[in-house]
Amino acid sequence: MSDAPILTVEHLMMRFGGIVAVNDLSFNADRRKITALIGPNGAGKTTVFNCITGFYRPSGGAIRLNHDDGRTIHLERLNDFRISKQASVARTFQNIRLFPGMTALENLMVAQHNALMRASGLTVLGLIGAPSWRSAERAAIELARTWLARVGLLDRADDAAGNLAYGDQRRLEIARAMCTEPTLLCLDEPAAGLNARESGALNELLLSIRAEQGTSILLIEHDMSVVMEISDHVVVMDYGVKIAEGTPQAVRDDPKVIAAYLGADEDEAIAVMEKAN
Amino acid sequence: MSVTPATSSHTSQPLGSAFILKKALISALVALVLFSLMIGIRTEAGNQGGLIYWTRFGDLATMVGVVFGGSIIVELLRQWFGPVETDKVVPKPVRAAMSFVGHWLAPALLAFALFVPVIFYHQRYILDLAILVLTYVMLGWGLNVVVGLAGLLDLGYVAFYAVGAYSYALLATNFGLSFWVCLPLAGILASFWGVLLGFPVLRLRGDYLAIVTLAFGEIIRLVITNWQSLTGGPNGVSGIPRPTLFGIPLDNSDDGLAAKLGIEFSPTHRLVFLFYLILAMALLTNWVTIRLRRLPIGRAWEALREDEVACRALGINTTTTKLTAFATGAMFGGFAGAFFATRQGFISPESFTFQESALVLAIVVLGGMGSQLGVALAALAMIGGFELFRGFDQYRMLVFGMAMVILMIWRPRGLVGHRAPTVYLERSEAISSDLVKEGHG
């Protein structure tokens, strides 16, 4: 068990043609901690996420994942499905991406694809119904059942994912990501569209995932009640660069952050703050 | 000026028998007005240039009656099955009957298929037709893996059918290999071509994928037509050996099956054998597909159809997943092709035109993408129906086009549109077709 940060982003750069979406961004995400990435709309948060999870190949910089077992994986060299398969980084999406025509249980079974593929002997053992495959399948269903219970969807297990309520879909997507047994869980706006009660439940879920699974969490969020309550470390971005970083309290009181959110000058922001206090 | 909720629900909800009767009466009245002049009175120029006319009230009454009855039937159908986005009010007995039929249809069809050669032993034509239908059932089930499960639109499926047929034909005529040796080889070769096609098209989606697969189908056909030295070009390959019952030929020679069993030889024996052969092959295809759906690979195919981006985020290698879908579908196509070659005894490129691809795709789409029973029913309707209308040669395509349009309005997701879950905790409930995605290619 090393104390090195789980994720180290160094001088990350992402260009789309002439537009620089992320410029020289460096930050760490600590092991078994919840790191929040915040910033106004268009600050480049989701672009950072897409670089980390392999949907974009960064134009420059390094993203290192330091595993518990001491392996260091350069995420910028992996792409596509390998990030999840080899580096065990899981993610959710800002606009929920479940498999709507499959049941909640099936969604969680698909998430265990790689483990089940090995167990089914690349389909051969599964086709002949070998006992080793049967027991692996039962174990996979058990894991799925555990996660359905954790997110409170056990009674909806056999319902189509597309038929679930919005908040339930959000939680199912987190459960699906957790079924890949990740070391780093990346959540893109998990509280978007949730009401106060639901986002409270989300906070508890994320804290319990950190405590029980020891999973490190990186999240993008607009809902400040989530960010301020559960995150251990906050990184603030604006126009593709990092403008502040620190504990939730420190960031909340940073004039640069307030200026970025209010779209005002720093001096004006300080004035606003003083008035508020 | 406020619209009461009662009025709005009044218009959207289908009503009882009074409403149906009223609607039918109005339709009949309109028909009466229209037809009274068109059918009721007939005029003609008389001998002296004068106008003579006579009435045909009998015909008129028949037509109006037909419109009246038809209107009632259409309205009932609309309320019970309904096109999409209408409320469906199905009376309980009808619903119970439909669920009963849904439950027992597949076993009944299978039992019937097993006895077809017994029932129609003396009707060669029907046996031939049954073999043809089963060939298309098998092709439909094979393509269903690619289109229905993985959601990849393949317009060149006939290419794999052709590869299978020519594999058997050439291996058997040149090297004297038996059908049972060539059958797996034909499947392997076809799936090899499936993988070869898969590689370049993996990056493509939707319409682009469809166009490339269409082109691939044409390329295979053109290569077969022009590679005269190997395939005989447009003349085809003839003298393809007939299948044997594990080495015992089904002919009237001294070591034929009839002679060995000491019964009188009849050409029907071979037909019956071919029928059970294709039935076994089709059922094998079905069994493997059903089995694959419950394995991680099959779930990955369906997940790919639902959302490719999410698949990648879950660590699923979309490239190999698509390739396996192509290869599996192609393999079944290859098996069917080998069967086609041995049944015909002669093959030429003419049998592998785009029309065949379109026909098989139509079977899959009409059947309900992903549904095994639906595909079988659609193959029966398409191929059997086509033969049924052979008498009205000119109108065959017209009737068929109309039937398809009506079916697509009534059941846009095919005959059996819903999806059965592959795994469940408490209860297995069919998933409505509204939720299931078609895939983006």
H/E stretch holding B267? none
Record the tokens describing residue B17, joined without a space.
Answer: 């028998």
Q: Which amino acid is at A103?
A: T
pLDDT (mean) for B351-356: 88
Summarize pLDDT for B396-428 with one digit per residue, the tens. Answer: 777 778 877 887 777 777 777 778 888 888 777
Q: For residue B8, what pLDDT is reported? A: 38
In a mutational test of the B interface, the residue from A73, A80, A81 whose CB has the highest number of chain B CBs within 10 Å is A81
- Chain A residues with beta carbon closer than 8 angstroms to that of B288: 127
- A97: nearest CB among B310, B427, B431: B310
Helices first, then strands: H and E counts in chain A: 12, 10
**Ranges assigned E (strand) in B292-436:** 346-347
Q: For residue B10, what pLDDT is reported? A: 40
d(CA B345, CA A177): 55
Q: Is A105 within 8 Å of B291 when comparing Cβ atoms?
A: no
pLDDT (mean) for B299-312: 91
Q: Is A158 within 8 Å of B288 when comparing Cβ atoms?
A: no
- Helices (DSSP H) in B15-91: which residue ranges? 17-35, 57-80
Contact A221, A38 (CB under 8 A): yes
**Residue A264 CB neighbour total at 10 angstroms:** 14
In a mutational test of the A interface, the residue from B312, B317, B322, B419 whose CB has the highest number of chain A CBs within 10 Å is B312
| Number of CB pairs, chain A paired with chain B, less than 8 A apart | 131
Within 110-129 of A, beta carbons closer than 8 Å to B belong to 110-114, 116-117, 120, 123, 126-127
d(CA B113, CA B309): 42
- Chain B residues with beta carbon closer than 8 angstroms to that of A121: none
- Put simply, whether B257 touches A (Cβ < 8 Å) is no
d(CA B148, CA B158): 17
Query: Mind listing the domains of chain A with CATH numbers?
Result: 1-88+184-194+216-277 (3.40.50.300), 95-181 (3.40.50.300)
Strands A216-220, A34-38: pairing kind:
parallel
**Domain residue spans in chain B?**
14-80, 125-361
- Chain B residues with beta carbon closer than 8 angstroms to that of A157: 424-426
Within 82-101 of A, beta carbons closer than 8 Å to B belong to 82-85, 90-91, 93, 97-101
Going by C-alpha positions, the residue among A80, A24, A87 that lies closest to residue A56 is: A80
- B424: nearest CB among A103, A111, A126: A103
Q: For residue B133, what pLDDT is reported? A: 92
Contacts of A259 (CB under 8 A, 6+ apart): A265, A266, A268, A269
Nearest CA in chain B to A52: B313
- A101: nearest CB among B315, B318, B436: B436
Summarize pLDDT for B122-160 with one digit per residue, the tens. Answer: 888 888 899 999 999 999 999 999 998 988 888 989 999
Task: Please say if the pLDDT value at position B30 is more than 60.
Answer: yes
Going by C-alpha positions, the residue among B292, B299, B243 that lies closest to residue B271 is: B243
Q: Average pLDDT by consecutive 10-residue portion of chain A (277 residues)? A: 77 87 87 88 86 87 84 80 80 90 92 86 76 87 92 88 89 92 89 86 89 89 82 87 86 81 65 60
Q: For residue B189, what pLDDT is reported? A: 94
Q: Percentage of chain B with pLDDT > 90? A: 21
- Put simply, whether B391 touches A (Cβ < 8 Å) is no
Q: Which amino acid is at B336?
A: A
- Chain B residues with beta carbon closer than 8 angstroms to that of A163: 435
- Put simply, whether A260 touches B (Cβ < 8 Å) is no
Q: For residue B17, what pLDDT is reported? A: 79
Choice among A47-51, A256-260, B91-95, B100-104 with the minimum mean pLDDT: B91-95
The complex's ipTM works out to: 0.87
The pLDDT-based confidence of B45 (bands split at 50, 70, 90) is: confident
- Put simply, whether A159 touches B (Cβ < 8 Å) is yes
Q: For residue A273, what pLDDT is reported? A: 61
- Helices (DSSP H) in B294-349: which residue ranges? 296-306, 308-313, 318-344
Summarize pLDDT for B161-195 with one digit per residue, the tens. Answer: 999 999 999 998 888 888 888 899 999 999 999 99
